[in-house]
Amino acid sequence: MAARSPADGAVRDRWLELATRRMTAAGLRAGAARTAVVETLAREGQCLLSAAEITSLLRPGGGGSTASVYRVLMELSDLGLLRRLDGRDGVARFEIADPEHHHHHVVDERTGEVRPFTDDDLERSIERVADRLGIELRSHEVVLRGVRREA
Amino acid sequence: MAARSPADGAVRDRWLELATRRMTAAGLRAGAARTAVVETLAREGQCLLSAAEITSLLRPGGGGSTASVYRVLMELSDLGLLRRLDGRDGVARFEIADPEHHHHHVVDERTGEVRPFTDDDLERSIERVADRLGIELRSHEVVLRGVRREA
DNA sequence: TTATATGCAAAAGCTTTGCATGGGT
DNA sequence: ACCCATGCAAAGCTTTTGCATATAA
């Protein structure tokens, strides 16, 4: 499924570099678990992965305990390196925050499948709303739920 | 705060009637807990209430155990009578789904305050996107996060 | 050397479920 | 009568935290 496939090289490299820079600037060190999680996210975190999924994607044996994975996820989020979406199943999912592109999500209510999409017109609407409300926008998320149209 | 104030009479009555009709049609009976939760939602559920908040709003002594509140919330959601939003604090919040109006939410990242807003232009964008994606839209949600602009 | 990172296991919370009892229709 | 609704208490799950140990710089 497209949503889980590896990020293309450009996005991956750009994010990995940004992440490294910000983590260093924040005084974070390159421990085994953090490095493994960051690399995994750069490689496969283009669209919504849960902590459990990330853990199972870490190179087997390369470590990365549950606690460490959660801790890293929180640090990266605080540094603005991840986008987070809390699902109806009570599970939080994360994806890399690429400063140049970002997408939103459509959920097929029949299958539960989640697909990413982008729409410039929608982005403009959102900026106008934020402006009208007097908000300096830091992040935003849109989730569409429905079923694939037949005809 | 506006977000928690009682719904205006029209919205409340319309929703209460719709809810009653659908519940009856679904073969649900009017037990004490369900009645209390539905009335509480009609009265104060215009914007995002957690199960715990709803429980504490039930008329003291009128009952409504935690289990029942959750069960009712799930039934109403399944009947399309509630909108649900899962917060970053791991808590699910609900609000009445008024077929004639609906709003989205802005979160002030400084205070955590959540405010409702509406925007017709945004709604049109969303409909166009759904159309383009070939989706028959059942529901959608938009969350904006930012800080109040100073100047 | 010294603050930081990691892992394990225990603790927290929210939400769900099993089961016996009470209550609509 | 019969089936549904309710409550209590016991799970279930994801996520967080305490603490001793290992490790980057």
Predicted confidence (pLDDT) per residue in B19-51, tens digit? 999 999 999 999 999 999 999 999 999 999 999
Q: Do A135 and B147 touch (CB under 8 A)?
A: yes
Q: How many helices (H) and strands (E) does chain A have?
A: 5, 6
What pLDDT is attached to residue B4? 46
- Give chain D positions with protein CB within 7 A: 4-9, 14-18, 23-25
Q: How far apart are CA A108 and CA A148, in angstroms?
A: 7
What is the domain class of A9-96 according to CATH? mainly alpha
Lowest mean pLDDT among B3-12, B80-89, B119-128: B3-12
A51 alpha-carbon distance from chain centroid: 11
| Closest residue (CA to C1') to nucleotide C6 in the complex | A68
Q: What is the mean pLDDT of residues A70-97?
A: 98
In the CATH scheme, what is the code of domain B104-146? 3.30.1490.190
Torsions phi, psi for B6 (to 5 deg) = -55, 145
Strand C-proximal residues of B, range 35-74, CB below 7 A, are 50-52, 66-67, 70-71, 73-74
Reference B13, options B32, B37, B35, B41; nearest CA is B41
Q: How confident is the model at residue B6 (pLDDT cuts 50, 70, 90)?
A: low
- CA of B67: nearest nucleotide by C1' is D7
Q: Does the pLDDT of residue B91 top 60, yes or no? A: yes
Which of the nucleotides lies closest to B70 (Cα–C1')? C15
Q: In which residue ranges of chain A is CATH 3.30.1490.190 found?
A: 104-146
B2 pLDDT above the threshold of 70: no
Using a CB-CB distance cutoff of 8 angstroms, which residues of chain B are in contact with residue A130?
106, 144, 146
**Which regions of chain A carry the CATH code 1.10.10.10?**
9-96
A46 CA to C17 C1', in Å?
A: 36
Model confidence at B151, pLDDT cuts 50, 70, 90, reads low
Per the structure, the residue whose CA is closest to nucleotide D4 at C1' is B29
3-state helix/strand/coil string of chain B: CHHHCCCCHHHHHHHHHHHHHHHHHCCCCCCHHHHHHHHHHHHHCCCCEEHHHHHHHCCCCCCCCHHHHHHHHHHHHHCCCEEEEECCCCCEEEEECCCCCCCEEEEECCCCCEEEECCHHHHHHHHHHHHHHCEEEEEEEEEEEEEECCC
Q: What is the mean pLDDT of residues A109-136?
A: 96
pLDDT score of A4 more than 70? no
The mean of the pLDDT values for chain A is: 92
Nearest to B86 by CA among A69, A93, A6: A93
Is residue B8 over pLDDT 80? no
